[in-house]
């Protein structure tokens, strides 16, 4: 399925049904009183977080959502039927913005959370409501309330416990494919991951957590370069960042400079990303020529007061220890809440 994390839609609620002007007509009743019923309420348009979805693809294909009108009132004091609400399912993690004002209307960060994006019009009152001692035969009724219309921007931010960041070809896709149920595209050229992906991981201690694989970042990503800040926002909700680095001495610039590049992009993007719990993961340790460079990088990173793990997703070296470390860090974070 195509991954879509932005969509623009228009929502129009249902107009309220009109009140009815009617009078009783009964045999042997010389003066029939007013019996016009009220109109029914128009449909609300409701946007609701649905755990079965992980993309805004449906909202990209259908961009207009219109609620039904409430039924008009009828004689014999019959109230018109209210229209059923129109529900728009979106993935958990969807933020809803008003196009005209830029206001954040709602952040649907939990399954089942919802917002009324456009409220249906009220039903108009029938003439039976307007009868008084002085006016026993009113010939007026209320029209139904107007529909509400809004243009909205939907933005999805993935909800995951752990986010994988790093330069292209740093080993993120290989790692997530080895430790989770995700099966991303893997190849030896940059930007094989073009959309964020989620995988569920079970640590050796039995704890489950969700990992988000973010497309490779490059210098200037916070300003939109490469895959850009469009995908950086997907790690805003993560509790832990795994910063993956290929230590290969055959790549320029050096591994230390590559580490600095990603840290600068995280810092420049904002959202306090550099203040998150971070584990630096030195990858591709199955390649002999990487080991010396990996030791130098390890020493440098530890000087920054960051945790370091060395792994090979290909051979499995260090994976069990890494999962234990992630599980322990998540438990620590949850115990503080």
Q: Dump pLDDT digits (tens) for 283-300.
A: 999 999 999 999 999 999
Report the CATH number that the domain containing residue 305 is assigned in CATH: 3.40.50.300
Report the CATH number that the domain containing residue 113 is assigned in CATH: 2.70.210.12
Tokens encoding 156:
């999805």
Sheet holding 104-108, edge to edge: 64-66, 6-12, 149-156, 94-98, 104-108
**How many domains is the chain partitioned into structurally?**
2
Of 123, 156, 189, the position where a domain reaches its end is 156
Do 172 and 321 lie in one domain? The reply is yes
Do 204 and 129 lie in one domain? The reply is no
* Least confident among 84-88, 146-150, 187-191, 263-267: 187-191
Element (H, E) at 178: helix 172-179
Q: Dump pLDDT digits (tens) for 218-250.
A: 455 444 444 445 667 788 889 999 999 999 999
4 class by beta-carbon count within 10 Å (0-12 exposed, 13-18 middle, 19+ buried): middle
Of 116, 138, 156, the position where a domain reaches its end is 156
- Quick one: average pLDDT of 179-189? 57
Q: Which residue has the higher pLDDT, 40 or 192?
A: 40
Structural domain that includes position 306: 162-336
- Quick one: average pLDDT of 82-103? 96
Do 117 and 28 lie in one domain? The reply is yes
Do 21 and 65 lie in one domain? The reply is yes
**Which position has the token pair 């002085």?**
134
Query: 300-309 — which CB contacts under 8 Å span 24+ positions?
Result: 300/256, 300/259, 301/259, 306/278, 306/279, 306/280, 307/278, 307/279, 307/280, 308/279, 308/280, 308/281, 308/282, 309/279, 309/280, 309/281, 309/282
* Least confident among 60-64, 157-161, 287-291: 157-161
Cα gap 337→323, rounded to integer Å: 22
Do 13 and 37 lie in one domain? The reply is yes
Mean per-residue pLDDT of the chain? 88
Do 289 and 145 lie in one domain? The reply is no
* pTM for this model (two decimals): 0.78
Q: Dump pLDDT digits (tens) for 129-151.
A: 999 888 888 999 999 999 999 99
Do 170 and 298 lie in one domain? The reply is yes
Do 5 and 35 lie in one domain? The reply is yes
Q: Which residue has the higher pLDDT, 195 or 177?
A: 177
């Amino acid at each position: 399925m195509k991954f879509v994390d932005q969509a623009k839609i228009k929502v129009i609620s249902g107009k309220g049904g009109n009140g009815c002007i009617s009078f009783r007509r009964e045999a042997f009743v010389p003066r029939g009183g007013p019996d016009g019923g009220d109109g029914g309420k128009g449909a609300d348009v409701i946007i609701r977080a649905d755990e079965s979805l992980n993309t805004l693809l449906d909202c990209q294909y259908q961009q207009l959502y219109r609620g039904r009108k409430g039924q008009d009132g009828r004689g014999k004091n019959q109230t018109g039927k209210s229209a059923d609400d129109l529900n728009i399912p979106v993935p958990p993690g969807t933020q809803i913005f008003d196009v005209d004002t830029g206001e954040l209307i709602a952040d649907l960060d939990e399954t089942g959370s919802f917002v009324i994006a456009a409220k249906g019009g009220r039903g108009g009152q029938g003439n039976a409501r307007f009868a008084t001692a002085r006016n026993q035969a009113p010939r007026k009724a209320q029209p139904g309330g107007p529909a509400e219309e809004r243009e909205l921007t939907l933005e999805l931010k993935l909800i995951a416990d752990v986010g994988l960041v790093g330069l292209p070809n740093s080993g993120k896709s290989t790692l997530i494919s080895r430790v989770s149920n995700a099966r991303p595209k893997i190849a030896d050229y940059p930007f094989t991951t073009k959309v964020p992906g989620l995988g569920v991981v079970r640590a050796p201690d039995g704890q489950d957590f969700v990992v988000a694989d973010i497309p490779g970042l490059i210098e200037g990503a916070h300003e939109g370069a490469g895959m850009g800040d469009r995908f950086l926002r997907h790690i805003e909700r993560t509790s832990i960042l795994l910063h993956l680095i290929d230590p290969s001495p055959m790549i320029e610039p050096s591994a230390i400079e590559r580490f600095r590049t990603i840290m600068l992009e995280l810092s420049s993007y904002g959202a306090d990303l550099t203040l998150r719990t971070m584990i630096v993961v030195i990858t591709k340790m199955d390649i002999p020529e990487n080991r010396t460079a990996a030791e130098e990088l390890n020493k440098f990173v530890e000087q920054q007061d960051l945790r370091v793990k060395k792994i090979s997703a290909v051979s499995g070296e260090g994976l069990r220890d890494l999962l234990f470390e992630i599980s322990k860090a998540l438990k620590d974070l949850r115990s503080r809440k």
